[in-house]
Amino acid sequence: MSVQANSVPLSWYLLLSAILFALGVAGFIWRRNIITVFMSIELMLNAVNLSFVAFSYQLRQADGHIFSLFVMVVAAAEAAVGLAIILTVFKNRQTLEIDEVESMKY
Amino acid sequence: MDLIIFLICSVIAVACGINLVLQKHPISAALSLVGVMGSLAVLYLLLGGAFIAAAQIIVYAGAVMVLFIFVIMLLNAGAEPAGRKRSYARLFGPPLLAIFVLLIAYAIQARLPRSEGVQFGRFTGGSPEGIGIKVFTDYLLPFEVVSVLILIAILGAIVLAHKEIR
């Protein structure tokens, strides 16, 4: 890989995207507060956005930016509805731990 | 110069990501996520995505994260109680995983053909003009569908938060 002072290898962007995605998955699996789980989902979506924009640079087309824009819009819509659901769950159960919302377990 | 900016922003992004996973209180995790989004916006600028960088700051860091922080403060979410016992997996897992990831990344990169690096200013298609041309010609249908999606999300959020006035 050629590293000069004013150019960054593209694979470094993809490695950063992979690391952020793995951190998002780790937070999603490990954390117990439902809002932190949601924020790990947003971190995963951001990592994928970085990957899209990096490949868009390599192909010299703006299509990756369009994909990234749509991912952003869908993430915003999902955050709105998901937080409304969290508010409703909290109103009914007074808890934010995902281990305590288990009334559908047999 | 690009390399220095990339290294600084990527270190900030990874550090904020690790902080998001490790913090006990959700508000600290939310602020770490804002840090991740800010550093990612600078990385988008380096990759020539001026519109996406601005949209990231305005939409993600400015609207979605503010919504998260509103909900955290509205629900008065406290710190998570500590409850896991110590195990060897927690002690040895993350460093070994980091070494594993770096080894695989190096092995993959050694096999790939050499591509030119990323330089700021070499790709100018990510300006608002370039994005606008693409959105309104090639991706017009997804654009309209996504606006319907946002409308449905707004309706869903209103229905969920609606309080019956008896």
* pLDDT reported for residue B166: 57
Helix B26-46 / helix B2-22 crossing angle, nearest 10 deg: 160
Q: Which residue has the higher pLDDT, A28 or B125?
A: A28
In chain A, residues with a C-beta closer than 8 Å to the C-beta of B80 are 31-33, 36, 97
Q: A4 φ, ψ to 5°? A: -105, 180
In DSSP terms, A7 is beta-bridged to A4
Cβ(A79)–Cβ(B68) under 8 Å? yes
Average pLDDT for B145-163? 91
pLDDT band at A94 (very low <50, low <70, confident <90, very high): confident
pLDDT band at A96 (very low <50, low <70, confident <90, very high): confident
Domain boundaries, chain B: 1-80
What value of ipTM does the predicted structure carry?
0.90
Which residue in A12, A72, A96 is closest to B60 by CB distance?
A72
The 3-state secondary structure of chain B reads CHHHHHHHHHHHHHHHHHHHHHCCCHHHHHHHHHHHHHHHHHHHHHCCCHHHHHHHHHHHHHHHHHHHHHHHHHHCCCCCCCCCCCCHHHHHHHHHHHHHHHHHHHHHHHHCCCCCCECCCCCCCCCHHHHHHHHHHCCHHHHHHHHHHHHHHHHHHHHHHCCCCC
**Residue among B4, B5, B21, B100 with most chain A CBs within 10 A, to mutate:** B21
Which residue in B59, B153, B161 is closest to A87 by CB distance?
B161
**Looking at domain B1-80, which of 3.30.9.10, 3.40.50.2300, 1.10.150.170, 1.20.120.1200 is its CATH number?**
1.20.120.1200
Q: What is the pLDDT of residues B68-118, one digit of tens each?
A: 999 999 888 777 776 666 677 777 777 888 888 888 888 888 887 777 788
pLDDT band at A105 (very low <50, low <70, confident <90, very high): confident
d(CA B95, CA B137): 48
Average pLDDT for B18-47? 94
Residue B132 has pLDDT above 80, yes or no: yes
Average pLDDT for B27-47? 95
Q: Does B67 touch chain A (CB under 8 A)?
A: yes
> Which residue in the block uniquely carries the two structure tokens 């990344």?
B105
Cβ(B3)–Cβ(A3) under 8 Å? yes
List Cβ neighbours of B24 (8 Å cut-off, separation of 6 or more).
Answer: B79, B80, B82
Using the beta-carbon criterion (under 8 Å), do A18 and B101 form an inter-chain contact? yes
Helix A10-30 / helix B88-111 crossing angle, nearest 10 deg: 160
CA distances in angstroms from B136 to A59, B126, B139, listed in the order given: 20, 14, 6
In chain A, residues with a C-beta closer than 8 Å to the C-beta of B114 are 1-2
pTM, entire model = 0.90
* pLDDT reported for residue B125: 84
* pLDDT reported for residue B85: 64
List Cβ neighbours of A90 (8 Å cut-off, separation of 6 or more).
Answer: A96, B75
